[in-house]
Amino acid sequence: MRIMGWSCGLAATGLLLAGCAGGPGGSGGKISDGKVVLAVLNDASGIYADTSGRATVEAVRMAVADYRAKYGGKAVAEKIEVEAADHQNKPEIANSKAQELYDRKKADLIVDVPTSSAAFAVATIAKNKKKVFIDVGAASTELEGKQCNKYTFHYGYNSYMLANGTGSEVTKDGLKNWYMVYPDYAFGQDMQKTFGTAIKGAGGTVVKSDPTPFPNDNFSTFLLKAPNLDPKPQVIGTMHAGGDLVNLVKQYNEYKLRDKGVRLAVGLLSLSDIHSLGPDALAGVQHTDMWYWNLDERSRAWADKFQAKTGKRPTSNMGANYSAALQYLEAVQRAGTDKPDEVVAQLEGAKIDDMFARNATIRAADHLLLHDAYLSQVKPASEVKEPWDYEKVLKTVPAAEAFQPQPDPACKL
């Protein structure tokens, strides 16, 4: 009983002290547990391990270093730690890891979380625990729709951006008839829908769309079917990723479909995929990217630092995670605390300009980052002048056009 009494007393005193210190103008103790913990939760060994994975942790560390360098002694967050965890792309593992990160590791922010189902799981935990979650890796627009909540942000890209960039732009470019092939699981189905809408919106037609088994190593049936459809599609839109995409592209080249007048557009293409296939296999393929390491001097300078640490160039996902972590720390700085409600208030409506996000705003109504996106084309090997410089940016899609113009009414923050 005495111990109970003591601890109650201590807790009460603690609460009082915290209350005083947290007030306006109070100094010290503004940071919970005395430190800010940034946790990267993503896929460390599965199909997304090369697009984001462990190297993303390095990108987040770079954000911490840049924050420290900028504010020095004036930094609100004096002690910052970076944690990493592997969710294996499984929602149930993402769920328990997120709880562990928030509760035991005292994470103030969880960032990345590719695979939409895993992202939904983490968003729910963030909502219940009232802790900040910035998703970078997942594509689903539901994160700023039905599944949105006060503590969750969606940063970098989504399926609308991909479809609106590639689907609309390629159609407007004159390739009106599409044959869509997509892997038969949530991501592929979602992409098939958003691309279909974008293509029709731009005046094009989806001649046919076929689901393919997932995973799949033999796409020859679909590729041979393409030129014989009526009307003949001018472009195959593939919504595959990783190994499936590599299989499909290798076989696309085998059947020489480009020579038969059927072009290829890729829904989601990562720098690491181009590296796997070699640029010639994908030469001329169009896709939409949220960022490119060799976009301009600012992104290149950052990519140089990144390469010095990891030995490779960053994918756009890694760049986006750097930016998300940096902007979180900036929000903490402005709020003067890491209290989630106050940090969220600082993030809502924030105008952002860093090496990743251009002309960017976090829309307060649905917590979606609006920023410039890029319609890019893969260079043929003959034009690749240095390792990893595979993309040519054809067109900047301005922030106002790149993402949904209106927040989804289903989103109630």
Partner 1 sequence: MLQQAFNGLVGGAFYALLALGLAVIFGMLGVVNLAHGAFYMLGAFGAFIALDSLGLNFWLALVVVPLALGAAGIVLERAFIRRLTPLDPLYNFLFTFGLALILQDLVKRQYGVNSQPYPRPSQLGGTVNLGLFTYPAYQVFVLGASVLVCGGVWVVLTRTRVGMIVRAATEKPELSRALGIDVGRWVTPVFGFGIALAGFAGVLAAPMRAVNPLMGSDLIITVFAVVVIGGLGSVFGSVAAGFAVGLVSALGNYYVPSLSQTLVFILMAAVLLWRPAGLFGREEAL
Binding site for partner 1 (CB under 8 A): 45-47, 49-50, 184, 210-213, 215-218, 220-222, 224-225, 242-244, 246-247, 250-251, 254-256, 272-273, 275-278, 281
Cβ proximity to partner 1: between 210 and 389 the closer is 210
368: which DSSP letter?
Answer: B
Smallest gap from residue 230 Cβ to partner 1 (A): 15
Smallest gap from residue 71 Cβ to partner 1 (A): 35
Smallest gap from residue 152 Cβ to partner 1 (A): 27
Count CB-CB contacts under 10 A for residue 3: 7
Cβ proximity to partner 1: between 34 and 215 the closer is 215
Cβ proximity to partner 1: between 215 and 398 the closer is 215
Smallest gap from residue 217 Cβ to partner 1 (A): 5
Cβ proximity to partner 1: between 188 and 319 the closer is 188
Residue showing tokens 């393409």 = 226
CA 231, 232, 238, 243 torsion: positive or negative?
A: positive
Element (H, E) at 222: helix 220-225
Smallest gap from residue 211 Cβ to partner 1 (A): 5
Smallest gap from residue 80 Cβ to partner 1 (A): 28
Smallest gap from residue 40 Cβ to partner 1 (A): 17
Closest C-alpha to 53, from 62, 42, 38: 42
Cβ proximity to partner 1: between 271 and 368 the closer is 271
Cβ proximity to partner 1: between 127 and 275 the closer is 275
Element (H, E) at 36: strand 36-42
Cβ proximity to partner 1: between 6 and 185 the closer is 185
Residues 6+ apart with CB under 8 A from 369: 153, 154, 155, 156, 352, 357, 360, 361, 362, 363
Separation CA 128–CA 101 (nearest Å): 14
Element (H, E) at 111: strand 109-112
Helices H, strands E: what count in the chain? 15, 15
- Provide the edge-to-edge strand list for the sheet that holds 109-112: 80-86, 36-42, 109-112, 132-135, 152-154
At 312 the three-state DSSP class reads coil
Separation CA 222–CA 37 (nearest Å): 48
Cβ proximity to partner 1: between 104 and 256 the closer is 256
Q: Which two tokens stand for residue 189?
A: 């189905």
Q: Which two tokens stand for residue 369?
A: 């980052």
Smallest gap from residue 221 Cβ to partner 1 (A): 4
Q: Residue 278 to residues 8, 141, 209: CA-CA distances in angstroms?
A: 64, 31, 27
